[in-house]
Structure 1
Amino acid sequence: MADDNNTVSDLSDLKDIAADAPSADETQTPTQPLRDQEIDAQGRAYATGRRKDAVARVWLKPGSGKITINGKDQEEYFVRPTLRLVINQPFAISEREGQYDIVATVSGGGLSGQAGAVKHGISQALTRYEPALRSTVKAAGFLTRDSRVVERKKYGRAKARRSFQFSKR
């Protein structure tokens, strides 16, 4: 049997002790977001996104869902629909389509890297505006910076790893 100091000599004693313990629902206090909302004076959340050599500065504010990149509409800047799909992934995961306006400036890299940078920036800005969405966006892997970059070319090589063609004679 169990003593007053909750020692266990048998598995049946463990069941008695577990019944006496308060449940997890009773012990928790009301949960608050782990982070504070980070908004500037204009009511926008700012974040920087990076992918390959591209860097995107992203400002997010409540609105109608308009996305502007380098002064152009998203359909005009990212002509390929797959790139526009990449940009809208954070909103689809968090079920916030059409609720926020995005203004982004992107530099460096190619279009694919720039789309990834904007996606990373939107995800970061979304979690700064709504800290409760952080777990959802993080579980989808959008807050992690994809650190893969092009390997540099080495001397004595045709490319980063490829050798020049071997000549027997």
Structure 2
Amino acid sequence: MADLIQYYGTGRRKSSIARVFLRPGSGKFTVNKKDVDVYFVTPQQRVAARRSLGIAGIEETFDVLTTVRGGGVMGQADAVKLGIARALMEFNPELRKALKAEGLTTRDSRGKERKKYGQKGARARFQFSKR
């Protein structure tokens, strides 16, 4: 069997994890065995998922296969974006400078703040009553 050339990157955002595989092809983009336009419903999610490819300028060069789990759909789109950026840097390390200038090489580490005891939520308090 011929060697399969592919580049791998892992993307994370909040509680979403995306495994991204870039394979030489015609530009087909699938997320969890669905077309990207079917999986990501809003234009904002689609733009976020494709952003790394657009900056590198190679949308039609690679097929993108991703598996995503956990979190919400927007977090998943951002996880795919980071995974594609990491796979592109594996393919061509010279793309790092362009991707870094757009802020696509670092993980967004913001997550949900935990609920504290004696409070309604992370920051929300129970209503104070003097009497």
Q: With structure 1 as the length reference, what TM-score do the two structures score?
A: 0.74
The counterpart of 1:152, out of the listed 88, 94, 114, is: 114
Q: Which residue of structure 2 lines up, in the alignment, with residue 24 of structure 1?
A: none
Could you tell me how far apart the structure 2 residues matched to 1:151 and 1:59 are?
A: 32
Could you tell me how far apart the structure 2 residues matched to 1:165 and 1:42 are?
A: 61
1:45 aligns with 2:15: no
Larger strand proportion, structure 1 or 2?
2
Deviations 1:109-165 (A, max 9, x none): 101100000000000001101222111111111010000101011111101011101
Q: Which residue of structure 1 lines up, in the alignment, with residue 51 of structure 2?
A: 89
Secondary structure in 1 aligned to 2:22?
A: strand
1:79 aligns with 2:10: no
**Which residue identity does 2:72 align to in structure 1?**
G
Could you tell me how far apart the structure 2 residues matched to 1:81 and 1:63 are?
A: 24
Q: Which residue of structure 2 lines up, in the alignment, with residue 128 of structure 1?
A: 90
- Structure 1 runs, 4 residues or longer, greater than 6 Å off: none
Deviations 1:21-68 (A, max 9, x none): xxxxxxxxxxxxxxxxxxxx5200011000111110110111111111
Q: Which residue of structure 2 lines up, in the alignment, with residue 54 of structure 1?
A: 16
Fraction of identical pairs, as percent:
52
Secondary structure in 1 aligned to 2:20?
A: strand
For these two proteins, the number of residue pairs brought into alignment is 129
Q: Which residue of structure 2 lines up, in the alignment, with residue 63 of structure 1?
A: 25
Larger Rg: 1
Could you tell me how far apart the structure 1 residues matched to 2:93 and 2:17 are?
A: 23
Q: Which residue of structure 1 lines up, in the alignment, with residue 100 of structure 2?
A: 138
Structure 2, unaligned runs of 5 or more: none
Deviations 1:1-20 (A, max 9, x none): xxxxxxxxxxxxxxxxxxxx
Q: With structure 2 as the length reference, what TM-score do the two structures score?
A: 0.94
Pairing of 1:106-121 with structure 2 (within 5 A): 106-121=68-83
